[in-house]
Structure 1
Amino acid sequence: MTWNVWGRFGDRWLRRQRAIVETVRARRPDFVALQETWRYDGQAQTDLLGFELGMTSAFAPSRMPRDPDPDVRLGLGVLSRFPLRKVEQHTLSAGTIALRAEIRLGTDSLHFITSCLDWEEDHERERFAQASSLASLVSELKGRGDDVVVAGDLNAPPGRPELEPLLAVLEDCWQPQRYDGVTYSSRNPYLDKGEWLEDQRIDYILANNGLVPTDSRLAGLDEDHGRPPSDHYAVVTDVPVA
């Protein structure tokens, strides 16, 4: 599962927080990648989610976006039903980061990686460079014979050249024959209308070609009293890994 959970934006973030917990609990994912998750006063949202859901958690601050409150730091997070063998932060191009969690599954390792690429329309070169850095990391890990999943907000619709480096080393797990998969939808009341990414699929789960998805779907559509808990919809993919 991957979800940009929109930090503490909006005037109902505490209610959204409750709805995020219930949405994840209902799907029972083994792994969750979070973007725009927050840390404040020594407490990380990933820790709270992990405690309520019975999952191991990790957090890494990132450079964007920034919360209006300077004491709130936004970043990336990982939740796992399995113990995390190793957690590392990797710097990509232009100061963007990726958070990598290594999970031991029997005698094999799975590397679960999340990132959030630049969102601005005129940052194609930055996104391409970030995706290229991420692809290099993936190739290194695959070279060890390990499985790799990249889950995150890539801020580019399918077919954009910025995604080509990643799609050269990983497979897109979305199954377009079933749903359109729009994760940044004009139907979402939190979306700023007229954005260049409006009504596009920009949140992805990518896996090496040895991992074959069996189903893909959206979540987080209306669990907050009929409203979505975030300005993005979540992506849930079933991928047998062991």
Structure 2
Amino acid sequence: MEQSTVIFGIRAIIEAIESGSTLEKVYLQKGLRGDLFFQLDKLLKKGKISTSVVPVEKLNRLSKHNNHQGAVAKISPVEFANLEEIIEDTLSSNKTPLFLVLDQLSDVRNFGAIIRTAECTGVDAIIIQKSGSAPVNSETIKTSAGAAFKLPICKVDHIKDAIFQLQAADIKLVAATEKTEDSLYDIDLNQPIAIIMGSEHKGVSNSILKMVDYKGKLPLLGEIESLNVSVACGAFLYETIRQRM
């Protein structure tokens, strides 16, 4: 963890939240009490900021033994975009909308690779969930080759929130899943769409699959039963580009 991305001390973290800084995660010492802590806890819950209760030894390492008061926060290196504004801007442009929704993807390297491919294929924005998703950290940015600074990333309370907004804008939802007999290559991608990629271990969740317009899978001709999610995502995005060229 780079020192430039870290703030420590309860009051400093409170001030960062109140000033509008985007916090990636807050690490709290187990058993923390007091009025100032309860003020911080209230802000963390209100903002639905990811937190983790850790031993004091970890806080000491993260803060490089500075006076952390039992709380250390990591500031996100990127500013997250407003999904509603991104949808409006995209619909008002002359291009066919293309969004990418990541349903609780957890590996930062996969995330970075996906951001890089998404930027190369003209994706309008990537949508992730506030909790349970891979963070946008230095490793993510490095793997994305800097694309994380060029492509809007939107955080929502729940993936379903994003789906409702996309559906309201008449953007069709395409889930990448093996739980279908339909091939990706039979889906019309030359229309406003949002491609949904699932987590590395569970894929797109069943509750999300019930809400989509299309389900598509890639042909697997070998003995391995699945592709790496970033590779599969690249295949979906480039098939979209192929159809639109």
| TM-score scaled by length of structure 1 | 0.30
Structure number with higher helix proportion = 2
| TM-score scaled by length of structure 2 | 0.29
Structure number with higher strand proportion = 1
